[in-house]
Amino acid sequence: MTDAKLRGSGPVLDVRGLTIALPSGSDRREAVSGASFSVKRGEILCLVGESGSGKSVIAQAVMGLLPDTLPVTGGEIVLEGENVAHAGRERLRELRATRMSMIFQEPMTALNPVMTCGDQIDEVLREHTQLTPEQRRDRILAIVREVALPEPERIIASYPHQLSGGQRQRIMIAMALVLEPALLIADEPTTALDVTTQAQILTLIQDLQQRHGMGVLFITHDFGVVAEIAHRVAVLRLGKLVELGEKDAVLKRPQHAYTKMLIGAVPSLQTHGRAAEGASEPVLRTVGLCKTYYDRGWFGRRREVHAAQDVSIEIRRGQTLGIVGESGSGKSTVARCIIRLIDPTAGEILLHGQDIARMSAAELRPLRRRVQIVFQDPYRSLNPRRTVLEAIIEGPVNYGVRRDKAIERARQLMDLVRMDPASLNRYPHQFSGGQRQRICIARALAQEPELLIADEAVSALDVSVQAQVLDLLEDIRNRLNLAMLFITHDLRVAAQVCDYVAVMSQGRIVEHGPAGQVFGAPRHEYTRALFAAAPGRDFAFGSA
Amino acid sequence: MPAAQSKASELETLSVEAADIRVTESAWQRVRKNWSVRIGGAALALLLLIAVSAPWLGTVDPTLFDAASRDLVPGQRGEITTLDGEIIKHKFWFGSDSYGRDIYSRVMYGARVSLTVAVLAALLSLAFGIVCGLSAGYLRWLDGILMRFMDGLMAIPAILIAIALVAMWRGSLTTVIIAIAIPEIPRVTRLVRSLVLSIREEPYVEAAVALGTPTWKIMFGHILPNTIAPLVVQGTYICAAAILVEAILSFLGVGLPPDIPTWGNIMAEGRPQFNQYPHNIFIPGVFLAITVLAVNILGDGLRDTLDPKMAKRV
Amino acid sequence: MNRNIVVAVLLAAAAGGALAQGEVLRVVPHSNLSILDPVWTTAYMSRNHGYMIYDTLFGTDGKSQIKPQMVESWTESPDHRLWTFKLRKGLAFHDGAPVTGEDVVASLGRWGKRDAMGVALMTFVERMDSPSPDSFRIFLREPCGFLLEALGKPSSNVPFIMPKRVAETDAFNQIDDYTGSGPYVFKRDEFKPGDRAVYLKNTKYKPRAEPASGTTGGKNVYVDRVEWNLALRDVQAQSNALVKGEIDIIESLAFDHYESMSKEKGVKVLKPTLGLQYMCRFNHLHAPFNRAEVRRAALAAFDQRQFLKAQVGVDELYKPCASMFTCGTPYASDVGTELQARSSMRKAQDLLKQSGYDGTPVVLMKPTDLQSIGKLPDVAGQLMRQAGFKVDLQAMDWQTLVSRRAKKDAPSAGGWNMFCTAWVAPDIWSPVNNAALDARGDKSGWFGWPDGPKLQELRSQFMRETDEAKKKKLAEAIQTEAFQLATHAPLGEYVQPVATRQNISGVIMSGLANIYWNVKKN
Amino acid sequence: MLNFIARRILATVPVLAIVAVLVFLLLRLTPGDPAAILAGDAASADQIARIRISLGLDQPIIVQFGIWIGHLVTGDLGESFYYKIQVADLIAQRLEPTLSLATLTILFSVLVSVPLGVIAAWRFGGWFDRALMGFSVMGFSIPVFVLAYILIWIVSLKLGWLPVQGYKRIADGFWPYLQHLILPSITLSVIFIALIARVTRASVLESLGEDYIRTARAKGLRESQVLIRHALANAAVPIVTVIGIGIALLIGGVVVTESVYAIPGLGRLTVDAVLARDFPTIQGVILFFSLVYVGVNLLVDLSYVFLDPRIRY
């Protein structure tokens, strides 16, 4: 009785002064300190923050899924009038999926790989309802249709790995919403998806939220997504809520310095329009570059995968060429062919006019130093057993530079990448992700390359750190007059750093030209679709 | 330029990342703090001490026998005739076997053999395994042949190879160690190979390729050092297995010559009289179990601290 | 109706089961049975198997006397060169065919190619024939002093009588037809090597009237079935199984268990009358044992009591005996045995010094898997070290030892200097069959290859001698010469105890061979 | 799928060929003369030489190998030097005890260890987990034969519940059959329970850390459902793998266990054959064991398809 009454009014979720402790020995005492916010019926509240801000901890606290090592030490979590912060296991179990549901970042891992999608939805119904198998099946098919999945019959008989990323996330949403909960918690639900899929999922969430009138707690680090979907925004920094307000207010007129910094760091989709045709000879040119993988079977037919087809690009000194594409488009394959980590199947790679595509390892060796690369994952790019110094001088020493000279150069490079040369004798694990990425840049620069490849070099970094590294890369390119090949899936990043842009899809370059031209007036259908999907494209960040 | 510089510094002051610098303990610090490592290590150190100082622990020549002192129970007094014909009085702390040899002395000296066999077998199989594994993992043309050979070797049950080898070539210390090491080689090879294959895909190895580092330097400078942790752990498990296999071989009568004091031999010698004189099997059995236990505990501790990913490989 | 048939079948099955139960004697033999041809191999297990299914012409009784078995009567020509034997009536093979003189001639012929004593006998034999189905004759070139001993030989290789068709198998191939005329029938389909061998009572067997003694007398069978458990080889498990009544007889009780089993309720321990002899054998081909002085020094060091106490340990199971022929048998004496009978370390040390021993290490082979003789080399090694020898004690399993001792190479090249073994009495109790006394240099039939023309001459005389008193004298001379030559070192005697359940009686404890007729299970 | 099976079966051929060559060389390059063993204690050198010829041991090794391989491809394992019967028959005779022992052991181990491992993973770090891990390390550390003696002494001799030794064929009645197998199986199981429980715990622990477990809990499922349908189902592949690997270990354990309990199985046959230098039998048995090992691992590989729909061949 009272339940029903309570449900009728008030916010779906009201978090008051929530404090969650961290285990002793952590870098701070509390994961979340006194956070207060509420989610109203029919509202999307975006919880924004960088990694380590505690935003996922809050989401899990609401669901009651926190491990024992992270206890709620203060405050209340009021779900439809009921304080669930210290509710018993059984009560929480009853509430989950019925009154509150959650979807996660990585739909591949969030779904049980050895169960069909239908069974996984069915589990929710079996656990929380007394429906007959037929009724359950009808409900499943209905919800699968509602999340706009094609061929529901086939889909529910499929295993997660047989579906695409977007379809899997739709299954997750179907599973979360099958019992029509009042609150949906979406923890970075689109971060792992390609930009076009992301746009579809965001639209779907908005649709469903309006149709069912749920409250949505949407957790993200991406201000583009915030701009796209939020009604209100809460900004978290190191476990503290620093700003809370209407979307437009927060994004356009941020009050807190941290919010300002974050929004200021979001790259703009506006190109800087620096692309002037250089007269210089290209440092590197590829002509009809192809990479095909063969799946060899004993009896079966050969399967061919064309990772890259007929890719022709050129890069000149002082210029940045961006290759933009979604995952699996072949952009990294091109980068790895150019640096000859893999051997191209066909085509030419001309380094100052000299074809290196088919050179032997020995012939290649003297040329290697001219092209260097920075990888995506800062945690795996450095040998954990070698000091930073050893990492940086490895290249020069390989080419006969005297050790003391190389050390001297390493110190200068540390300066160049804005790090303390005194930390040269430390090991990689003693540095943060952004710092490691700087070290990787220094290591590449130690070879005095003519071409620097950045393969998703800032994708794994938080937005503020990303801005710093992008800034550094640009600075270095200008100072050293480098040619740069910038591989990214992020249109904003591409817009900010690239002079020229090549858009790749399914192994082919579909559009190629000066950045201003490609961004300003995309000609190819795919490019247009890509830009249309970019979240928050119409929103001018920090414009105020 | 100054604008960019100032923007960057502003970013840095506000960035959360400044707080994100995790001063992680080094692997060695974690190892030293681990209780499994401490307990296992301490027990092993004690056994090592026993092995080294066996002659000064109130022992007599473990091969000396005197029919007059057969089958004594622990604590009983008896006599032993030395090679010079001298008769000495001796207290048999752990009793005597059916030859009249002092089990206490044999157990103490036996620690030497068990530990020697364990360590040498582990080192031998690791050495061969590393060479084969690195070769197979890095030289693709060799991989097929070498791994088929290893598959073949692996398909033969380890204990059968060991029994056959020792029985055929006579049980000397060398034969026993080789016989125990050989069946372990394919396992180490596989481990090293899989580590090499995964490590060579690591970006830092690819970066080294891009830096023009020669293949051999990559193998020994980048790949090998990163295989050490799992190999150390694997090594401890080989040690434990080696001690047990040595005992089993002795027990089946195809191990080291029975006059050599090994725990397995003492137990094999006591086997016919288990009902009457169970101490002949229990005492060396307890020493054996404690040693293997210590090695295993140490291995588990090392695994947890050095190579957490290995926990699932067991 | 169907139901009736089912019931009938069930009843039949039940009856069959009950029948198969019968009186079963469950025996744990001393070793594994692998070869089923007792003429082809000298292995004692094959010999025991032979006694189960075959009969013999003569046997050796409990007092080591030769007695007729299949033979009814025999005559000897005055010049001792023609022997005529008449077979008992009613002898029949398991397949029902009567045993004829033809079968005997063929069987002796095959045996004469394999057995050492048989080979020796055949050097005397001119020919053999069978004038009538129930008789056979042996024609000799010259008189032979051990014809009956050979035919009544109780231990390996025993001249078992097989059907002619089987005996015609090449002596160097194994037979594969196990038809005999003995008291048991081999159940071939139940033979699982390494698991069990099964023998059924031969219901058609006609035992002699005399009481059973040694390998002679009435072979009366009182059980329906004998099962040899070949899988149970752990001695502790054997004793446990006997105590729990899971088996009836342990053929070879470990010395270590003698006392505890003697005290066990429900179990009794039996001692045979005749013992086995331990010996250490020198390799006469290589230094240091290529010189008699060195060998004699070792002999002097070998105090038999030390060996016996260490190896057997139970006082009532062993006794020293310096004779080369088992003590208590006709040719045993203490003539010429002083060197060993009064062994002393002092004398050994002196002898070794005089011999000019140069410190060449003695490669002493030790078997690791034979409990019954495993400790002898340890004792030998310790005594020789005390005497001043350098000893290289090398442990190996018995099979390796057996193949290595056949090698005439130098010890450094895979040969050897010394090993120890044990012999059952009947295999060594006469100068003819004692293989260790064969002294024809590297042509000797047994390993060690002593070269003693004088000894050889004496043995040759012994073989031709038919007078018992003269034979005894010759045996004494042979023994004296053998000690002079130091062919090998006898280390004393022991008896191998047998353990049975209390309800087992009638086990023949002659010490000649393990035989299972006359046994009752109550 | 069929393609995969065919390919895998073909791939076992080189492995078995390598085993064949290895085993043959291992044996023929060793000291020890089967002829001398066969001839018995009192045989003369001449007799031994003749036996050697009759066994074909006087031929050059390469010829012997050729003959053996020639027979092998026709499925003929040759005749035992020692027992003079076909090695294939010998193996067939000894198969039942070993197979029974191994099956019962695996069955018992899996039934006991998997639930233990799951519970330990679920209560990670708790007393049950610690106790199980303690037991597991102990299980790895106690020599099989010591355990066997203790069990015989307590269960059979002191309590008198079970026979001390021996084996009864299943044809002799199921209860006697089982009665004789219980103790050996328990002896042998200890190390397996330790091994499988460890792996189960580790892999369930790993899958408990996966996102889909969080999803399952977020769905409001009961812990038992989460553990079995989600955690264990996803941990099945490593568990089945370790059972496959365990087969190799089992063969080693069988040799010892059969010795102690006087079970006439393949393990005993191997030891006896090695001691008797019965080359054809050793070759046959090792080849047979290798075949079993390879076959079991093939089955394990195939089972992945059913355990994990992501795996397709």
Q: Residue C249: which H helix or E strand, with range? A: strand C249-250
pLDDT tens string A93-109: 888 888 899 998 877 78
Highest mean pLDDT among B33-47, C267-281, D236-250: C267-281
- The answer, yes or no, to whether residue A426 has pLDDT greater than 80, is yes
Q: Does D56 touch chain C (CB under 8 A)?
A: no
**A468 min Cα distance to partner chain B (Å):** 6
**C489 min Cα distance to partner chain B (Å):** 20
Contact between C260 and B275 using a beta-carbon 8 Å cutoff: yes
Model pLDDT, residue C199: 95
Structure letter (DSSP) for residue C317: G
Residues 6+ apart with CB under 8 A from C138: C82, C83, C85, C108, C125, C128, C147
pLDDT band at B21 (very low <50, low <70, confident <90, very high): very low
Pick the CATH number of A318-343+357-533 from 3.40.50.620, 3.30.1490.190, 3.30.300.30, 3.40.50.300: 3.40.50.300
Mean pLDDT of chain D: 83
pLDDT band at A452 (very low <50, low <70, confident <90, very high): very high
pLDDT band at B15 (very low <50, low <70, confident <90, very high): very low
Q: Does A297 touch chain D (CB under 8 A)?
A: yes
Integer Cα distance of A409 and A414 in angstroms: 9
Axis-axis angle for helices A165-177, A133-146 (nearest 10):
130
Model pLDDT, residue D44: 66
Integer Cα distance of B298 and B45 in angstroms: 11
Which H, E and C letters describe D6-40, residue by residue? Answer: HHHHHHHHHHHHHHHHHHHHHHHCCCCCHHHHHHC
Of A515, A506, A438, nearest to A267 by C-alpha is A515
- Put simply, the chain A residues between 355 and 414 with a CB less than 8 A from any chain B CB are 361, 365, 368-369, 371-373, 375-377, 380-386, 391, 394-395, 398-399
**Domain layout of chain D by residue ranges:** 15-72, 93-307
Integer Cα distance of B124 and B121 in angstroms: 5
Contact between A257 and B222 using a beta-carbon 8 Å cutoff: no
**D92 min Cα distance to partner chain A (Å):** 35
CA D202, distance to chain mean position in Å, is: 23
Mutate to test the interface with C, among D84, D146, D153 (most CBs of C within 10 A): D84
Peptide bond preceding C288: is omega within 30 degrees of 0, i.e. cis? yes
Model pLDDT, residue A8: 53
- The answer, yes or no, to whether residue B8 has pLDDT greater than 80, is no
Q: What b-and-e string marks burial along A511-525, b requiring 16 or more CB atoms within 10 Å of the CB? A: bbbbbbbbbeebeee
Contact between D220 and A113 using a beta-carbon 8 Å cutoff: no
Topology of the domain comprising D93-307: MetI-like fold (1.10.3720)
pLDDT tens string B174-206: 888 998 998 899 989 988 888 888 888 888 888
Model pLDDT, residue A190: 86
Identical fold for domains A1-87+217-265 and A318-343+357-533, yes or no, is yes
Model pLDDT, residue A2: 40
Contact between C192 and D276 using a beta-carbon 8 Å cutoff: no
pLDDT tens string B211-226: 888 888 888 888 888 8
Residues 6+ apart with CB under 8 A from C23: C222, C223, C224, C225, C521
pLDDT tens string A453-480: 999 888 878 888 888 888 888 888 888 8
pLDDT tens string B83-103: 776 777 778 888 888 888 888
Q: What is chain C's pLDDT, residue by residue, as a tens digit (522 residues)? A: 444 444 444 444 444 443 444 689 999 998 888 788 899 888 888 899 999 999 999 999 888 889 999 999 999 999 889 999 999 998 999 999 999 999 999 999 999 988 888 988 999 999 999 999 999 999 999 888 889 989 998 887 899 999 999 999 988 788 889 999 999 999 988 888 888 899 999 999 999 999 999 899 899 999 999 999 988 888 888 898 999 888 999 998 988 889 889 998 899 999 988 888 999 999 999 988 999 999 999 999 999 988 998 888 888 899 998 898 888 888 888 888 888 778 788 889 999 999 889 889 999 998 877 778 888 998 999 889 888 899 988 887 777 787 788 788 888 888 899 999 988 888 888 888 888 888 888 888 788 889 989 999 999 898 888 888 898 999 999 999 999 999 999 999 999 999 999 999 999 888 888 899 999 988
Chain C residues with CB under 8 Å of B98 CB are: 256, 313
pLDDT band at A261 (very low <50, low <70, confident <90, very high): confident
Q: Do chains C and A touch (3 or more CB pairs under 8 A)?
A: no
Chain B residues with CB under 8 Å of A447 CB are: 211-212
Contact between A261 and B14 using a beta-carbon 8 Å cutoff: yes
- Residue D86's φ and ψ, nearest 5 degrees, are -60, 135
Mutate to test the interface with B, among D91, D137, D157 (most CBs of B within 10 A): D137
Judged on CB neighbours under 10 Å (0-12, 13-18, 19+), C31 is middle
Chain A residues with CB under 8 Å of B139 CB are: none
Do the beta carbons of residue A182 and residue A143 sit within 8 Å? no
Model pLDDT, residue A497: 86
Q: Does D165 touch chain C (CB under 8 A)?
A: yes
Model pLDDT, residue A295: 67
Domains of chain B and CATH, by start? 34-59+107-311 (1.10.3720.10)
Model pLDDT, residue B16: 44
Contact between B300 and D31 using a beta-carbon 8 Å cutoff: no
Mean pLDDT of chain A: 86
Model pLDDT, residue C49: 93
Beta-bridge partner residues of D4: none
Model pLDDT, residue B81: 74
**D165 min Cα distance to partner chain C (Å):** 7
Structure letter (DSSP) for residue D154: I
Peptide bond preceding B296: is omega within 30 degrees of 0, i.e. cis? no
Count H helices, E strands: chain A?
A: 21, 20
pLDDT band at B5 (very low <50, low <70, confident <90, very high): very low
Model pLDDT, residue A3: 43
- % pLDDT > 90, chain D: 6
Integer Cα distance of B231 and C162 in angstroms: 65
List subunits contacting chain B, requiring 3 or more Cβ pairs under 8 Å. A, C, D
pLDDT tens string A104-142: 887 778 888 889 999 999 999 998 999 999 999 999 999
Greatest C-alpha distance within chain A: 83
Contact between D15 and B148 using a beta-carbon 8 Å cutoff: yes
- Put simply, the chain A residues between 265 and 284 with a CB less than 8 A from any chain B CB are 265
Q: Does A528 touch chain B (CB under 8 A)?
A: no
Contact between D255 and B160 using a beta-carbon 8 Å cutoff: yes
Tokens of D216: 């399952």
Q: Do chains D and B touch (3 or more CB pairs under 8 A)?
A: yes
pLDDT tens string A293-321: 886 554 555 677 888 889 999 898 888 89
Pick the CATH number of A1-87+217-265 from 3.40.50.620, 3.20.20.70, 3.40.50.300, 3.30.420.10: 3.40.50.300
Contact between C382 and B65 using a beta-carbon 8 Å cutoff: yes
Do the beta carbons of residue A63 and residue D218 sit within 8 Å? yes
pLDDT tens string D126-154: 888 888 888 888 888 888 888 888 888 88
Which string of DSSP letters, residue by residue, matches B231-258? HHHHHHHHHHHHHHHHHHHHHTT-SS-T
CB-nearest partner of D165 from C172, C240, C445: C240
Contact between B170 and D31 using a beta-carbon 8 Å cutoff: yes
**What are the distances in angstroms from CA B74 to CA A313, B281, D187?**
86, 12, 28
- The answer, yes or no, to whether residue B306 has pLDDT greater than 90, is no
Q: Which residue has the higher pLDDT, D87 or A379?
A: D87
Model pLDDT, residue C233: 82
Residues 6+ apart with CB under 8 A from C463: C120, C124, C144, C145, C146, C432
Chain C residues with CB under 8 Å of B258 CB are: 368, 374, 395
pLDDT band at B22 (very low <50, low <70, confident <90, very high): very low
pLDDT tens string A14-54: 999 999 988 877 777 888 888 999 999 889 999 998 877 88
